Amino acid sequence: MEFTTGDLKALFRAFSARMATERDRLCALDGVIGDADHGIAMEQGMKAAADAAQTAEGTLQDVFNAAAKGFLNAVGASSGPLYATALLRAGKAAGPSGSMPRSELRTVIAAIRDGIAQRGKAEPGQKTMLDAWAPAADAAVDGQDADAIAAAARQGAEATRDMIATIGRAARLGERSLGHPDPGSVSAAMLVEEICNAMGKAV
């Protein structure tokens, strides 16, 4: 079954609802090693992305592009450019058409990983959102099923507990960042789960 622009708009609504639900948990995680606002930025950003997506017309790429712009202009900070770039790359991967096979959501996950890595000049292992997106993308490119991709993201986020931050705001904490998961990786795993829900619906 095809993944249409209507499905994509629904996916952004799911992102937005999930971030609103998890806002306080994400803020609490961020309070330990950062400045306690990650949940607020993700809620505001995904709400703006979802609002922009709902009114966007045209192809899958057009909807992704509108969402990217919405997220960025609402947030700024660090998560704005990272997710905006990721969503623009996702739009490019989805392409200028009205629908695609649902299995193509795997290339969307890989494109999001690529966009975040490029914009953040980061690599896996630095205790960032990339530590959830990268294993998810690897599993996706490997052709694994939706449940396996979501599990890879969750395990990746969990593994950030044992990492020392070397990039971003927590980097100056050094070893004091040990034992705490990176909030950006936790929210990333939630977004991967929502994509996998959409992927799994019709596979």
Partner 1 sequence: MSLTQKLINDGNAAVDEMLAGILAAHPEHLWRPDNAPRAIVARHGPRTGKVALVVGGGSGHEPTFLGYVGKGLADAAAIGNVFASPPPQPAVDAAMAASGGAGVLFMYGNYAGDVMNFDMAAELLEMEGVEARTVLTTDDIASAPRNQRQKRRGVAGNVFIFKAAGAAADMMMPLGEVERIARHANDRTFTMGVALSSCSLPQTRRPSFDLPVGEMEIGMGIHGEPGVRRGPLRSANDVADEIMDAILAEMKAPAGDRVAVLVNSLGATPLMELYILNARIAERLKAAGLVVHKTLVGPYCTSLDMAGASITIMHLDDELQRMIDHPCDCAMFRS
The tally of CA atoms less than 13 A away on the side-chain side of residue 47 is: 12
Q: Which is nearer to partner 1, 115 or 156 (CB)?
A: 115
- In the list 11, 29, 75, 165, the residue contacting partner 1 (rule: CB under 8 A) is 75
Per-residue mark of binding to partner 1, 81-110 (x: CB under 8 A) = xx-xx-------------------------
Instruction: Report the run of H or E that residue 184 belongs to, with start and end.
Output: helix 183-200
- Output 80 or 135, the one with its CB closest to partner 1: 80
List residues bridging with 42 in a β-sheet. none
Q: Which of 20, 141, 167, 178 binds partner 1 (CB under 8 A)?
A: 167
- Tell me the CB-side half-sphere exposure of residue 177, using CA atoms within 13 A: 23
Q: Does 120 bind partner 1 (CB under 8 A)?
A: yes
Given a contact cutoff of 8 angstroms between Cβ atoms, the answer to whether 81 and 93 are in contact is: no
- Interaction between residue 20 and partner 1 (CB under 8 A): no
CA distance linking residue 48 with residue 90, whole number of Å: 17
Nearer to partner 1, 68 or 192 (CB): 68
- The verdict on 33 binding partner 1 (CB under 8 A) reads no
Output DSSP code: residue 35. -
Binding to partner 1 by CB under 8 A, coded x per residue (else -) over 168-187, reads: xx--xx--------------
Identify which range of 70-78, 91-99, 133-141, 145-153 contacts partner 1 by CB under 8 A.
70-78
> Taking the complex as a whole, how short is the minimal distance between the CB of residue 197 and partner 1, in angstroms?
29
Is 64 in contact with 87 (CB distance < 8 Å)?
A: yes
User: Which of 120, 123, 146, 147 is CA-nearest to residue 134?
Assistant: 123
Angle between helices 38-55 and 60-75 (to 10 degrees): 140
The footprint of partner 1 (CB under 8 A) covers 35-37, 72-78, 80-82, 84-85, 119-120, 167-169, 172-173
